Structures are given as structure tokens and as C-alpha cells.
Amino acid sequence: MRSILTPTQRIVTIAGVAGSLIAGGVIGATLAGPLAATAANNGSNTQLAAASASPSASAGTFKSNENATHESGETATVEAQENSGQRPGGGTGKFTPNENATHEQGESAAREAQETAGQRPTVP
């Protein structure tokens, strides 16, 4: 059986398909890259709020995980902190603010003042 496409048409078709695949990969990476960075960043913000020594009203009320599986791995100290309404382990280490220029651009004056005073920020 004879091919319908000439050798030149075959090469152009293969190059077009390959180019489309590459362009699709670049577009996908361009769109998904910032989304992945945002997701990773949001995890950091959540972790910062959980580590806050004195959570603000906007951070919500601390609720202990009383699941039996979770409880079986807890120390008596952590359980005592949870029972008294404290976030376990929050704010016990030395606070070191993030002074990266990109991070600083998004900070409010109130947050910067807390960081400058050596306090864990409770405001965005």
C-alpha cells in the first residue's frame, strides 16, 4: 500500500505535533508553577499561625485534636497544653523574622513593628 503523504508532508506533520507538545508543556509549566508556589506558600502561612504564641482573634480559636489515634502519640505535656486551650509548642523557640525583600513588600506596618520588637507576628 502506498502512503498518502509525501516525505515533506510527513516531516512537516511530525514537526507540528512535536512543536504542539512542547508548547503545551511550556504553557502548563507557566500556569502550574505559580499555583504550586502559592500552595507551598499557604502552607507556610498556616504553619506560622499555628506556631503563634498568642493567636489573634482572626486566627480563630484553637481546637485540640482529640482523635484516639492522635492522642495515643501525645506526651502528657502536650495534652496538658491542649486541655488549657494553648497551642502545643507554639512560640517556645527564639523568633527570627523573615527580612527577605520580597517578603517585606507584602507586610503591613503593624506586622513589621511586631517583628522589630522581637515578637511573633499576630497580624498579616
Q: Give pLDDT tens digits for 38-56.
A: 655 554 444 444 444 444 4
Predicted local confidence at residue 96, as pLDDT: 73
Q: What is the mean pLDDT of residues 55-72?
A: 65
pTM of the model: 0.28
Please name the residue that has the C-alpha cell 511530525: 14
H/E segment holding residue 44: helix 7-50
Q: Is the pLDDT of residue 22 over 90?
A: yes
Look at residues 77, 2, 87 and name the one whose alpha carbon lies nearest to residue 46. 87
Q: Which of 90, 93, 92, 98 is nearest to 114 (CA)?
A: 98
Pull the grid cell for residue 112: 513589621
Beta carbons within 8 Å of 86's beta carbon, 6+ residues apart: 62
Query: Do 59 and 49 meet the contact criterion of CB atoms below 8 Å apart?
Result: yes
